[in-house]
Every structure is written in structure tokens, then in C-alpha cells.
Amino acid sequence: MENIQQKQSIPLLGDNFPNMKVQTTHGVMELPKAFAGKWFILFSHPADFTPVCTTEFVAFQNRYKKFKELNCELIGLSVDQVFSHIKWEEWINEKLQVDIQFPIIADTGAFAETLGLIHPGKGTNTVRAVFVVDDKAKIRVILYYPQELGRNIDEILRIVEAIQIADKSNVAMPANWPNNEIVKDHVIVPPATDIKTAKERLEKAKAGEIECYDWWLCHKKV
């Protein structure tokens, strides 16, 4: 029982990203130190030279500039040797004319185990996981996908932008932001937690400072 509990002790939301020295296609890196002061996305893929993973890497690279504009870096991972990563990058460049510019971790399996990325019942294959880590090295979002489902990279980009706005403006983000069916591109004002604040919300709405459906559902333009 003790061994099972230790194996399941993987990082959770709000935890510090674990310190680890890793071999990558850009040389040895220390995480999260290598991205100090930046956000980063660590995403794992089942294996090199696989079709779904190839489409994902092209999609990540095509949006790499947008991630960097959000002060966010990318780093991939799979339990493959660095030689395999390099050869796969060369194949993508030659066949698809896309130059993968972000590093890929060549994991022995130890880092994947630490993050809970080994796919149950599938040997050393890693799941399609995504860790969104902020500029203070805190894990903010964790996503897991089955092997047969490729990720929506635009959604991962939206996640980073939305959390950064939420942090900066002390607001919450509605479903499908910035294209919400109710409040469109507005953000949600945190609900009032006392009677005084609830009344103030409605007064602010009358003054045009915010918009409210009720005191507990208010929104505004960022």
C-alpha cells in the first residue's frame, strides 16, 4: 500500500514544479530554473515518429511565436532517446517544412514517473499530458488526453492568456472566453461574499462601471 501511495504522489495544481535536470535536444537543462521568470508549457507525447504526435508538434511550432508573446516557452517530452528526437525533427523539417525550435526532453522514464505521465498498461509510452507552469514555477493547469486524441493547441494558448488576465485583473474567465454566449469578450467580476459588497455591485452597475444580471453575476470589459 505504501508503494502505491508513493507512486500516485504526483504534482497537483498549485504545487511547485519539481526540480529536475533533463537531457533535451537543446542540451542539458534544469527545470524549472531554465525558464526562470517565464511561463512554460511542458507537454508529453507517446512517441516520436507517430502521426498524431507529428501533427501536434507542427501545431505547437506554428503557434510558438504567440506563446512567446505571452512570455511562455514550450518544452516537449517523451521516453525516447535524444537521437530519435533529433531525427524526427529533421524529418518534420524535410517533409513538412516546419523547423521545431523548442526543446524536447529525452526522458529515461524517471521524469515521466515523477509527473505521472506513464500510460497505464502501455509500457513506457507517455500519455498526452500538458502542464501549464507560471512565472513563479507554480503548476496552474494539468491536462491529460488519451493517446488517440490530439490536443487543441489553440485552447492551450487560450488557457495561458486567460489565466494571465485573471491574475493581473483579479477576475474570472467565462466559458469559451473571449467568445462567451452570455458576456461575449467580457470577464467575470468575482461574486460578492457579503451583503455590503452585493449592494455596491448593483450600484456600480447603475453607474455603468460594470454590467450585472444580478449581484452575483457581474461582468466587465478588461
User: At which residue does the C-alpha cell 461575449 appear?
Assistant: 184
Q: Which of 53, 72, 212, 218 is catalytic?
A: 53
The Cα–Cα gap between 79 and 8 comes to: 19
Cβ–Cβ under 8 Å, residues 113 and 6: no
Measured N-to-C along each axis, helices 51-62 and 153-169 cross at an angle, to the nearest 10 degrees, of 40
Which residue carries 499530458 as its cell?
129
In angstroms, the CA 25 to CA 106 distance is 8
53 is catalytic: yes
Task: Name the residues annotated as catalytic.
Answer: 53
